[in-house]
Copies of this chain bind each other. A is one copy, B any other.
Amino acid sequence: MPQTSFIIRTGGAGLYEFTEEVTQWAAAVGAQEGLCTLFLRHTSASLLIQENADPDVRRDLDAYFARLVPRADTPEMDYLTHRCEGPDDMPAHIKAALLPVSLSIPVVQGRLGLGTWQGIHLFEHRDAPHRREVLAHIGG
> A50 to B43, Cβ gap below 8 A?
yes
Contact of A108 among B106, B113, B135 (CB under 8 A): B135
Complex CA–CA separation, A23 to B61 (angstroms):
34
A139: chain B residues at CB < 8 Å are 34-35, 139-140
> A98 to B98, Cβ gap below 8 A?
yes
Copies in the complex: 3
Q: Mark A56-77, 1 if CB is under 8 A from B, else 0.
A: 1101110110011100000000
Which chain A residues have a beta carbon within 8 Å of chain B's beta carbons? 1, 3, 33-35, 37, 39-43, 48-51, 54, 56-57, 59-61, 63-64, 67-69, 79-82, 90, 93-94, 96-106, 108, 113-118, 133, 135-137, 139-140
